[in-house]
Structure 1
Amino acid sequence: MKGKFTGLALSAMLFALCVPAEAQQAGKVPRIGFLGNSTAALEANLVGPFRKGLRDLGYVEGKNILIEYRWAEGKYDRFPTLIAELIALKVDVIVTAGTPASLAVQKATTTIPLVMIAVGDPIGTGLIASLARPGGSITGLTSIAADLEGKRLELLREVVPRLSHVAVFWNPASPFQVVSEKEVQAAAQLMRIKVLSLGVRAEEQFDNAFATIRKERPGALLVLADRLFLHNRARIMDFAAQNRLPGVHAYQELVEAGGLMSYGPSYADMHRRAAAYVDKILKGAKPADLPVEQPMKFELIINLQAAKKIGVTIPPNVLARADRVIK
């Protein structure tokens, strides 16, 4: 009888260790807050990998985990209201992507853990203390990588050998974008490429940016990594095609929308890996002690349909390096 009791006690203890600390209270099902920058439709290719990551770890949405989705629809001024809703729902963890959204969560709460995804400079923006030991209530994945903007410009130069003038879309409202734009300027100076810097903070400013491009006539377009551009990718890529502008962009979704090339970290892969952070936090780990991961996978995506449409030939050596080719 004593052995049976000991076995039952041991089983109960092991079960308790496998169940999230908060969820142990009255059989509570853990609740995740997912803060999206745009819309459910536009971020389906990112949410899908995140949900798959959770499934791979044994979570079944609606059964042993609940996810509350909130969508900013490309309007960053909606973040405070949406975050307040998630806080009111008493979510156990908040998951979001990008610097502006992560900073908004940090401002709203320091008690609810935040798993950030694809934040460019989490140390410089004050989100974490260091990659190895983040401190505070925030951890996750950064998109920071050495000389990424320079590599994108080099790709453009390989495809357009005589390139001397490039337009750059960036968002001055994002601290990381300010840094990225400076990196573009520095790399372009070394390559003797003139930069047409176009800061776009909101959808209403695209028409003026397009008009400036028509007037200045740069030879290519570089779109940096900001959710505003992801949300408006069809509009931007339609303009690029109509004006026969080759380009290399941060997001592969812009290439899928008709752009020529993208080079950068796999954002889908980062969303999938974010699920592991959620799992660890729900099982009692502190965000302060979970090291922030840097990108592990970089992808070059090339759209040959777009190349044909704008009259550009992709050199064989560039095509051979592509991780994916849209034909």
Structure 2
Amino acid sequence: MKTPQFIVDLTFGNFVKGLSEFGYEQGRNIDIIRRTDIFRDRVPSIQEMVALLKPDIIAAPATLEAVAARKATSTIPIVCAALADAVHLGLIASEARPGGNVTGIEPYIAGLPTKQIEIAREIAPKARRVGLLTNMNDPKGPPQVGDLTAACGAMSLSVVEADASTARDIPDALAALANEEVDVAVVLQTNLLLNMSEQIGTIALEKRLPTVFGYREHVIHGGLVSYGVDLRWCYRRCGYFVDKILRGTQPGDLPIEFPSQLWLAVNLKTAKALGVAVREGLLARADEVID
């Protein structure tokens, strides 16, 4: 039996930890081909890799890469660590029975936008205007905007949106929110905005914008507070899917999973710089406090 081989381009360390939990060790009983050069022109580069390498499994970090991988192959199993809007995009038939060659983890939890807006109100009790830094060309973007807007409406908060389709758009989008004098800004959970965490944190601080995020990685890079799925868990959990597939389970028979726990992170250094008084109740609930 040949050593199972698959392409991986996600948060590598946590993914490897997840594989080790099921007894897999690079070079001994599994061959992980890590590729980080596929983002410039996703679909052709993935198609080229699949044709050249013929891997047993493709591990994708998020929806955009899963879409590109699915265009490249309808037979090789694809495991995605952060899968969103998969039914609408035609990647799966349903969450309970994916049915094709794609499976993985859905990190976007129902009700999360309402909780994020509640946290925004905790850090800015007098807030009346909420800014949304959006990224609408990512499949994960539009559903979040709808849910966040509805949550704000239920709390009688007005919403100001500023979109960033590329990294170059981020400074102007944040400047637009600051010019609109929003009281707090919520940053969507998308690949682009996650990858640009450091830039967003720096500019938000310069513009004196209190920020709420879905991923702790933003808070690590200077964001104020985050509440959402712990991506480290998502990447580790991919090991379970890989193990099941290598043992003979078809990806279409592996239900999409949802994280059962959410992660609250607070950056006190940023709070002090912004002059934001973080309530003791919020700090007491935090899973991670950076000071």
* 1:32 aligns to 2:11 (yes or no): no
Compare 301-310 and 165-174 and name the one that shifted more: 165-174
Structure-1 residue corresponding to 2:62: 98
Tell whether the 8 Å contact from 2:21 to 2:239 is kept in structure 1 after alignment. Answer: no
* 1:85 aligns to 2:48 (yes or no): yes
* Structure 1 unaligned residues grouped into runs of 5+: 1-23, 37-45
The one-letter amino acid of 1:140's match is G
* 1:54 aligns to 2:19 (yes or no): yes
- How big is the shift at 1:63? 2.3
Structure-2 residue corresponding to 1:258: 222
The one-letter amino acid of 2:157's match is I
Structure with higher helix content: 1
Structure-1 residue corresponding to 2:235: 271
Instruction: Give matches, 1:1-327, under 5 Å.
Output: 24=1, 28-36=2-10, 46-71=11-36, 75=39, 78-87=41-50, 88-327=52-291
Compare 204-213 and 245-254 and name the one that shifted more: 204-213
- How big is the shift at 1:72? 5.2
Tell whether the 8 Å contact from 1:113 to 1:287 is kept in structure 2 after alignment. Answer: yes
Distance in 2 of aligned mates of 1:55 and 1:82: 28
| 1:268-308 deviation digits (Å, cap 9, x = unpaired) | 00110111111111121100111111112211011111111
Secondary structure of 2:140's match? helix
Distance in 2 of aligned mates of 1:86 and 1:282: 20
Q: What is the identity percentage for the equivalent residue pairs of Structure 1 and Structure 2?
A: 37
Tell whether the 8 Å contact from 2:161 to 2:177 is kept in structure 1 after alignment. Answer: no
Distance in 1 of aligned mates of 2:290 and 2:158: 30
| 1:159-210 deviation digits (Å, cap 9, x = unpaired) | 1111111221121112221111111111111112121111211112123213
Tell whether the 8 Å contact from 1:57 to 1:279 is kept in structure 2 after alignment. Answer: yes
Tell whether the 8 Å contact from 2:138 to 2:191 is kept in structure 1 after alignment. Answer: no
* Structure 2 unaligned residues grouped into runs of 5+: none
Distance in 2 of aligned mates of 1:248 and 1:265: 14
TM-score (norm 2): 0.95
Distance in 2 of aligned mates of 1:177 and 1:113: 26
Secondary structure of 1:313's match? coil
Structure-2 residue corresponding to 1:13: none
Secondary structure of 1:320's match? helix
Distance in 1 of aligned mates of 2:133 and 2:28: 43
TM-score (norm 1): 0.85
| 1:62-106 deviation digits (Å, cap 9, x = unpaired) | 222111122258x5x521133123302111101112222211211
Distance in 2 of aligned mates of 1:201 and 1:285: 38
Distance in 2 of aligned mates of 1:323 and 1:72: 34
Structure 1 residues 52 and 302 mapped into 2: Cα distance closer, same or farther (>3 Å)? same
Tell whether the 8 Å contact from 1:53 to 1:276 is kept in structure 2 after alignment. Answer: yes
Structure 1 residues 311 and 317 mapped into 2: Cα distance closer, same or farther (>3 Å)? same
Secondary structure of 2:142's match? helix
RMSD: 1.5
Structure-2 residue corresponding to 1:43: none
Structure-2 residue corresponding to 1:11: none
Secondary structure of 2:264's match? strand
The one-letter amino acid of 2:147's match is E
The one-letter amino acid of 1:34's match is V
- How big is the shift at 1:229? 1.0
Tell whether the 8 Å contact from 1:35 to 1:83 is kept in structure 2 after alignment. Answer: no
Return the index of the structure with the highest Cα Rg: 1
- Number of equivalenced pairs: 290
The one-letter amino acid of 1:57's match is F
Distance in 2 of aligned mates of 1:221 and 1:72: 32
Compare 240-249 and 63-72 and name the one that shifted more: 63-72
